[in-house]
Structure 1
Amino acid sequence: MKRAKKEKKFAAELKKGDRVVTKSGLHGKIAELNDKDNSCIIETLAGKLKFDRSAISMEMSTKLNAPVATKK
């Protein structure tokens, strides 16, 4: 239940311009958000695709956006 709440919060906090990864592995950037049907349009190199917000992977998207640690 705790994980489900975190994923729901993550999906609600998505905004235009966020880089995301879907659960199927598609990488892209959010172009539009639609609150009426809880979907978003993701812009990829192949074009724009419409996905349900629940299809966006919280784990993979946070890894993608995590700052890269520099080695000294």
Structure 2
Amino acid sequence: MFVTPAFAQAAPGAAAAPSAFLQLMPLILIFFIMYFLLIRPQQKRAKEHAAMIEAVRRGDQVVTQGGIIGKVTKVMDDGQVEVEIADGVKVKVVKRTLANILNKTEPAQG
């Protein structure tokens, strides 16, 4: 009925601590999961957005991050575009704030 202390104790050396690599394995696994599920897709989306912004040209219909839809009338060198949001109403917008290009114009032939 009573267990003597000699039987209750583990054998010496039988319960050795796991190696440092095995202790770090869960952290390494979590990092790889976070990289492939969160970081990598975000970097890909950022690259696609940067390529889209660089491809903006005159005549494209764009949407700003504020939800304003307009037509690009002028692309400036300093990272800005001029967008016509109504007849005769033009605003300057920073290129980085363009959220999407709705209608793309074809490049000029010639």
Question: Would you identify which runs of 4 or more consecutive aligned residues in structure 1 move more than 6 Å?
Answer: none
Q: CA deviation at 1:44?
A: 1.1
Greater relative CO, 1 or 2 (CA 8 Å, sep 6+): 1
Q: Does 1:55 align with 2:106?
A: no
Distance in 1 between the 2:80 and 2:48 partners?
Answer: 18
Aligned length: 61
Which structure: greater helix fraction?
A: 2
Percent identical: 32
Name the SS of the counterpart of 2:93 in structure 1. Answer: strand
Which structure: greater strand fraction?
A: 1
* Equivalent residue, structure 1, for 2:53: 11
Name the SS of the counterpart of 1:17 in structure 2. Answer: coil
Match of 1:53, as an amino acid?
K
**Structure 2, unpaired ranges of 5+:** 1-42, 104-110
CA deviations over 1:14-43 (Å, ceiling 9, x no partner): 0100001101000100000012x1110000
Of 60, 74, 79, which residue of structure 2 is paired with 1:32?
74
The alignment's C-alpha RMSD in Å is 1.6
Distance in 2 between the 1:3 and 1:21 partners?
Answer: 17
**TM-score (structure 2 length as normaliser):** 0.52
**TM-score (structure 1 length as normaliser):** 0.77
Match of 2:50, as an amino acid?
K
